[in-house]
Copies of this chain bind each other. A is one copy, B any other.
Amino acid sequence: MRQIRYRTIADQLRHRVVAGEFALGRTLPSEADLSGHYGASRVTIRRALELLRSDGLVDARQGFGWFVAVDPLRQSLGRLGTIEAQLTASGVHSERRILDFGFVTASAHVAAVLASPTVLEVRRLNLADGEPFARVTVWCPEELGASLSRSDVERAPFYELLSEPLGGAVQTIGAAVVSASDAGLLKVPVGSPVLRCERITSTPAGRPVLLSEHVFPAHRTEFVVDLPMAARSIAPTGMRLVD
C-alpha cells in the first residue's frame, strides 16, 4: 500500500495539536522547521497543514505563522481515567488472571493492523474483588513480545513491559451479544449484551504496536465521554455506521 505522505504527516500533526503540544494562540513550528523535522518538502508540509486548517483545528496568518485555532478537548478524556484506576482508588482489589499466553498466526484483521504475520496473543480475565468484569485479549507483534514471559504479563501492566514508547490510541466501542465462552468467564447469562471495545495503541510516530479487545458485561459498565468544546449538534460524536 502506497502512503500519501502529506496525509500521514497531517495525522501526526493532528495528534500533536490535539495532545496539547502547542498552547492555544501560540504558534506551531514554522513550515521550514517542520520540513526539516519530517524530512519533507515545504509543499508537502503545507498540504498537511491545510488539511488541518480545513478541519478548523489550526489557522495561519501570513508573516505570523500557524497557530492552534480552537481549544481541542485536551485532558478531558484523560481525567476520566481507566477503570482499573477507578477500582484501586475506591479500594476495590483488582487482579488479572491469564487464560492463554502464546505466539499464534495472526488473523487477517490482526495481521493487517499490526503488520505482522505472527503475534503474541494474551487472553486475560480481569476481576474486581474476585468478580469478573472484563475479558481482555492483547496482541502485539512477535518482535516486541519475544522478550515477554507469562509471569511478566501476570505481574505488570502490558504498557510497562514494552521498551517501545507509546503514543496515541484509537478506541472503537460497540455492542454485541456475549459469546458462549465469554458468558461462562464473565458469569452472565447466554444472550446478554456486552460492550466490546477494540483499542489500537500506536507509537508516537503512528505505527500500531498493540491491539486489544475488551469485553465488558453491559449491565455493569458504561462508557463516558466529556466533550468540552462547542457542540454543533445534539447527536453523539464519534458514532458511525458500520457495514
Interface residues of A in 200-242 (CB under 8 A from B): 201, 210, 212, 214, 216, 218-242
Q: In the complex, what's the smallest C-beta–C-beta distance from A83 to chain B, in angstroms? A: 5
The answer, yes or no, to whether A167 is at the interface (CB within 8 Å) is yes
Chain B residue nearest to A243 (CB atoms) is B72
Chain B residue nearest to A85 (CB atoms) is B233
The answer, yes or no, to whether A86 is at the interface (CB within 8 Å) is yes
Query: Which residues of chain B are near A30, meaning CB under 8 Å?
Result: 2
Q: In the complex, what's the smallest C-beta–C-beta distance from A234 to chain B, in angstroms? A: 5
Q: How many chain copies?
A: 2
Q: Bound complex: CA of A65 vs CA of B7, how far in Å?
A: 15
On whether the beta carbons of A168 and B237 are closer than 8 Å, the reply is no
On whether the beta carbons of A168 and B236 are closer than 8 Å, the reply is no
Q: Bound complex: CA of A109 vs CA of B112, how far in Å?
A: 44
Q: Bound complex: CA of A196 vs CA of B72, how far in Å?
A: 18
Interface centre among A15, A19, A74, A223 (most CB of B within 10 A): A223
The answer, yes or no, to whether A63 is at the interface (CB within 8 Å) is no
Q: In the complex, what's the smallest C-beta–C-beta distance from A70 to chain B, in angstroms? A: 7
Q: Looking at the complex, which of A20-28, A97-105, A141-149 is the stretch in contact with chain B?
A: A20-28
In-complex Cβ contact of A199 among B78, B166, B174, B234 (8 A) = B234
On whether the beta carbons of B26 and A7 are closer than 8 Å, the reply is yes
On whether the beta carbons of B168 and A231 are closer than 8 Å, the reply is yes
On whether the beta carbons of A159 and B232 are closer than 8 Å, the reply is yes
Q: Bound complex: CA of A167 vs CA of B29, how far in Å?
A: 28
Interface residues of A in 1-41 (CB under 8 A from B): 1-4, 7, 10-11, 14-16, 18-23, 25-30
Chain B residue nearest to A223 (CB atoms) is B173
The answer, yes or no, to whether A169 is at the interface (CB within 8 Å) is yes
Q: Bound complex: CA of A23 vs CA of B240, how far in Å?
A: 16
Q: Bound complex: CA of A112 vs CA of B19, how far in Å?
A: 9
Query: Which residues of chain B are near A177, meaning CB under 8 Å?
Result: 192-193
Contact status of A240 and B75, CB under 8 A, knowing A224-B170, A230-B166, A234-B199: yes
- 3 nearest A-B residue pairs (beta carbon): A175-B175, A175-B218, A174-B222
